[in-house]
Chains A and B, each alone.
Chain A
């Protein structure tokens, strides 16, 4: 069965420190990988995606993610966290010939001033 894991329900970091939100997946083939962010009372906003090529992809708001094929991981990172980054983050995976996303359970990020 296809699945996406985000092993941490909650991540707390101090403002200005680097942050990492983890994602691992179990999907056949070479899937496409996405990160979304959800602010309170808002829909999901697209942050970045990995399709092919360089394992480090850069996205919106200073976020980046590193694809590791051997570890089937796609961790989201930011060098210096802002309080405004506090939100719910979802990793999503789509098989290469698939139509639908498989979403992770979400990780709540709290950036403390």
Chain B
């Protein structure tokens, strides 16, 4: 398994500013992901964070808005740029220790973002 921590746990931000969310895993993992969970909704994958290279973004998400870093096998950051109230969501970091599709994935506690 993997234990995942995120910072900050929550934040209230002003429109037009940016917030960087940090994700730390307690062990080296093959794959890391960032999800968004809007109020009362399911999870939507933003991107796969690739170690040492550019993240792979899902349709509807772009690097300029959600830049992602993954400098090593245990850490990643997600930045929400030029925020608007529509960005208010819970942002979840996730990790899959082993790459195979049959392996479970673990989730951090989430960062609850409110944009005013």
Q: Which of A13-21, A40-48, A62-70 is the contact stretch? A: A40-48
Name the residue on A nearest B92 (C-beta).
Answer: A43
Which chain B residues border A96 with CB–CB below 8 Å? 101-102
B53 an interface residue at 8 Å Cβ cutoff?
no
Q: How many A-B residue pairs have CB under 8 A?
A: 53
* Among A34, A43, A96, A98: residue with most chain B CB under 10 A: A43
Name the residue on B nearest A48 (C-beta).
Answer: B104
Across the interface, do A104 and B42 meet the contact criterion of CB distance under 8 Å? yes
Alpha-carbon distance A113/B54, docked complex (angstroms): 50
A100 an interface residue at 8 Å Cβ cutoff?
yes
Alpha-carbon distance A79/B72, docked complex (angstroms): 43
Q: How far is the CB of A88 from chain B (nearest CB, A)?
A: 9
Which chain A residues border B42 with CB–CB below 8 Å? 90, 103-106
Across the interface, do B101 and A44 meet the contact criterion of CB distance under 8 Å? no
Across the interface, do B45 and A100 meet the contact criterion of CB distance under 8 Å? yes
Q: How many residues of chain B have a CB within 8 Å of chain A?
A: 21
Across the interface, do B107 and A34 meet the contact criterion of CB distance under 8 Å? no
A99 an interface residue at 8 Å Cβ cutoff?
yes
Across the interface, do B102 and A32 meet the contact criterion of CB distance under 8 Å? yes
Across the interface, do A32 and B101 meet the contact criterion of CB distance under 8 Å? yes
Name the residue on B nearest A6 (C-beta).
Answer: B42
Alpha-carbon distance A41/B108, docked complex (angstroms): 11
Alpha-carbon distance A95/B58, docked complex (angstroms): 16
Which chain B residues border A42 with CB–CB below 8 Å? 109-110
Alpha-carbon distance A50/B106, docked complex (angstroms): 16
B25 an interface residue at 8 Å Cβ cutoff?
no
Extra contacts besides A43-B110, A44-B107, A95-B101 (7): CB < 8 Å = A32-B101, A46-B106, A90-B43, A97-B101, A99-B101, A100-B48, A104-B42
Residues in B lying within 8 Å of A, measured CB to CB: 4, 31, 33, 41-43, 45, 48, 58, 92, 94, 101-102, 104-110, 112
Residues in A lying within 8 Å of B, measured CB to CB: 32, 34, 36, 41-46, 49, 51, 90, 94-101, 103-106
User: Could you list 21 A-B pairs, sorted by A, with CB under 8 Å?
Assistant: A34-B105, A36-B107, A41-B109, A43-B107, A43-B109, A44-B43, A44-B94, A45-B107, A46-B105, A46-B106, A49-B102, A49-B104, A94-B102, A98-B101, A99-B48, A99-B101, A100-B33, A100-B48, A101-B105, A103-B42, A104-B42
